């Protein structure tokens, strides 16, 4: 029933405020998206009432016949969508998927080689402020200082010297192709496992606009809520031979009850991602990001890191405008354009001189190329005239016009 919003107006009003914020903002946070009505609806179903501990056919509590079906549908669809020999769709988040993989493949103290945060890596890949850096011994690879792209010869040298037990490829802010085969060759040479975290690009892999790491890596982790456009959650794909140890690492080693309402939503999202429309969506996400990169490349005082993008996101070096990444993101948000500050590959220390932009959400809102170009132009104007109040006001109005023209209809 829908009575709850009168019974609990405090929460209802906050939810409404968030819905209106989402409607009125041009959302360029690269990790966000708009899940479908079906994906959202099943999350508020009765599935949330059921305790499902364990795997289909081997549960702690009775009454899991329907739940078993949902789990099997979700697992099979994940395998089909990505051509994986094995899938585990239970991890509650990307972080928990990574945690389970480390538990499955590593002992505490084992060595990791992963991408540095400056180059765009994620903090769950061994950073000191995360469990992964506290339990395991991590070293990081960066990018070539000139091209800002991965330097495989350098990674190979590092791997030979460091002897990691696992090499992690995959990023949160890297706009160029990652050569999975090259990583495979390096891992094989030093006798390491190859793990790919495809959280950001999973939807582009599913939509077949980027090469899949699944046939190449030993194990692939992902979130399901970014470009893949499913519910907030995680998953693990792997070679069949690792299935039992990964299952065990998820339950009982790092999780108990499954979020069945989320598993069902993942199943729906996997099916959606198999439709031809999803492929068109994925193509459009990349085209929109490339269009934005082209316009911003021509914008004074703004530099597109690596010179462009092949995926859904791009990072801008904004230092020549005199703004920090945080100030740039603040100014943009003040006119209704949501981005986030980002580390730049060659920066030292923690001050961020970059911002990251992504196109998954505006593409889900069907922004046309003309609208995407206008957004890029508006961004350039804000960054170059951050204190021109009159112009900022005009830009705010343009943002309102665009969000009204391309409403959230999903």
Pairing relationship of beta strands 337-338 and 111-115 according to DSSP bridges: unpaired
Contact 169, 194 (CB under 8 A): yes
User: With binding defined as CB under 6 A, does residue 254 bind ligand PLP?
Assistant: no
What single DSSP character describes residue 32?
-
Contact 109, 133 (CB under 8 A): no
Residue among 75, 118, 122, 303 that touches ligand PLP (CB under 6 A): 122
Nearer to ligand PLP, 97 or 268 (CB): 97
Contact 136, 110 (CB under 8 A): yes
Nearer to ligand PLP, 124 or 284 (CB): 124
Nearest-approach distance from CB 314 to ligand PLP, in angstroms: 15
CA distances from 222 to 120, 207, 215 (A): 16, 15, 15
Nearest-approach distance from CB 2 to ligand PLP, in angstroms: 29
Nearer to ligand PLP, 291 or 326 (CB): 326
Report the distance separating Cα 101 and Cα 88, nearest Å.
Answer: 11
Which part of the chain contacts ligand PLP (CB under 6 A), choosing from 71-79, 186-194, 197-205, 285-293? 197-205
Q: What are phi and psi of 338, to 5 degrees?
A: -95, 120
Report the distance separating Cα 215 and Cα 74, nearest Å.
Answer: 20
Nearer to ligand PLP, 95 or 381 (CB): 95
User: With binding defined as CB under 6 A, does residue 386 bind ligand PLP?
Assistant: no
User: With binding defined as CB under 6 A, does residue 311 bind ligand PLP?
Assistant: no
The DSSP bridge partners found for residue 369 are none
User: With binding defined as CB under 6 A, does residue 234 bind ligand PLP?
Assistant: yes
Residue among 27, 71, 148, 197 that touches ligand PLP (CB under 6 A): 197
Residue nearest to ligand PLP according to CB distances in the complex? 94
Closest by CA position to 84, among listed 263, 272, 238 = 238
Dihedral, CA of residue 322, residue 326, residue 327 and residue 329, to nearest 10: 110
Contact 169, 178 (CB under 8 A): yes
Report the distance separating Cα 99 and Cα 95, nearest Å.
Answer: 6
Contact 79, 105 (CB under 8 A): no
Residue among 28, 29, 31, 352 that touches ligand PLP (CB under 6 A): 31
What single DSSP character describes residue 257?
B
Nearer to ligand PLP, 207 or 231 (CB): 231
Nearest-approach distance from CB 66 to ligand PLP, in angstroms: 26
Residue among 33, 124, 212, 321 that touches ligand PLP (CB under 6 A): 124
Residue among 26, 29, 39, 94 that touches ligand PLP (CB under 6 A): 94
Contacts of 157 (CB under 8 A, 6+ apart): none
Which part of the chain contacts ligand PLP (CB under 6 A), choosing from 91-99, 240-248, 329-337, 393-401? 91-99
Nearer to ligand PLP, 227 or 381 (CB): 227
Contacts of 244 (CB under 8 A, 6+ apart): none
Residue among 75, 118, 165, 200 that touches ligand PLP (CB under 6 A): 200
56, with CB counted inside 10 A (0-12, 13-18, 19+), is middle
Nearest-approach distance from CB 172 to ligand PLP, in angstroms: 3
Residues 150-160 as b or e (16 or more Cβ within 10 Å = b): bbbeebbebbe
Contact 259, 233 (CB under 8 A): yes
Nearer to ligand PLP, 88 or 321 (CB): 88
Number of residues that bind ligand PLP (CB under 6 A): 13
User: With binding defined as CB under 6 A, does residue 133 bind ligand PLP?
Assistant: no
Nearest-approach distance from CB 124 to ligand PLP, in angstroms: 5
Nearest-approach distance from CB 8 to ligand PLP, in angstroms: 27
List residues near ligand PLP by CB under 6 A.
Answer: 31, 93-95, 122, 124, 170, 172, 197, 199-200, 223, 234
């Amino acid at each position: 029933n829908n009575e709850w919003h009168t019974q609990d107006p405090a929460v209802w009003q906050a939810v409404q405020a968030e819905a209106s914020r989402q409607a009125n903002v041009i959302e360029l946070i690269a990790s966000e998206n708009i899940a479908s009505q079906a994906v959202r609806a099943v999350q508020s179903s009765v599935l949330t009432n059921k305790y499902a501990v364990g795997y289909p056919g081997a549960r702690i509590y009775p009454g899991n016949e329907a739940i078993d079906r949902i789990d099997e549908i979700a697992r099979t669809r994940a395998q089909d969508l990505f051509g994986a020999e094995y899938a585990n769709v239970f991890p509650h988040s990307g972080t928990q998927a990574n945690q389970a993989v480390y538990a499955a493949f590593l002992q505490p103290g084992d060595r990791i080689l992963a991408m540095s945060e400056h180059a765009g890596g994620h903090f769950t890949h061994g950073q000191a402020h995360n469990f992964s850096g506290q339990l395991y011994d991590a070293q990081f690879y960066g990018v070539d200082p000139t091209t800002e792209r991965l330097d495989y010869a350098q990674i190979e040298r590092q791997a030979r010297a460091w002897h990691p037990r696992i090499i992690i490829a995959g990023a949160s802010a890297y706009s160029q192709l990652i050569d999975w085969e090259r990583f495979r060759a390096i891992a094989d040479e030093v006798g390491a496992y190859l793990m790919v975290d495809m959280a950001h690009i999973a939807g582009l892999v599913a939509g077949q606009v980027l090469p899949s790491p699944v046939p190449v890596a030993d194990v692939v982790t992902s979130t399901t809520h970014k470009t893949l456009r499913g519910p907030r959650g995680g998953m693990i794909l792997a070679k069949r031979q690792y299935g039992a140890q990964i299952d065990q690492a998820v339950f009982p080693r790092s999780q108990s009850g499954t979020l069945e309402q989320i598993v069902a939503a993942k199943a729906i999202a996997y099916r959606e991602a198999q439709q031809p429309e999803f492929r068109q969506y994925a193509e459009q996400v990349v085209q929109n990001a490339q269009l934005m990169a082209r316009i911003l490349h021509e914008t004074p005082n703004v530099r597109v890191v690596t010179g462009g993008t092949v995926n859904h996101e791009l990072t801008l070096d904004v230092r020549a405008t005199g703004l920090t990444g945080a100030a740039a993101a603040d100014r943009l948000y003040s006119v209704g354009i949501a981005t986030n500050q980002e580390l730049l590959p060659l920066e030292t220390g923690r001050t961020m001189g970059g911002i990251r932009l992504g196109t998954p959400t505006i593409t889900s809102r069907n922004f046309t190329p003309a609208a995407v170009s206008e957004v890029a132009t508006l961004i350039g104007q804000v960054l170059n005239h951050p204190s021109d109040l009159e112009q900022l006001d005009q830009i705010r109005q343009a943002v309102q016009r665009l969000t009204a023209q391309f409403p959230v209809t999903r």
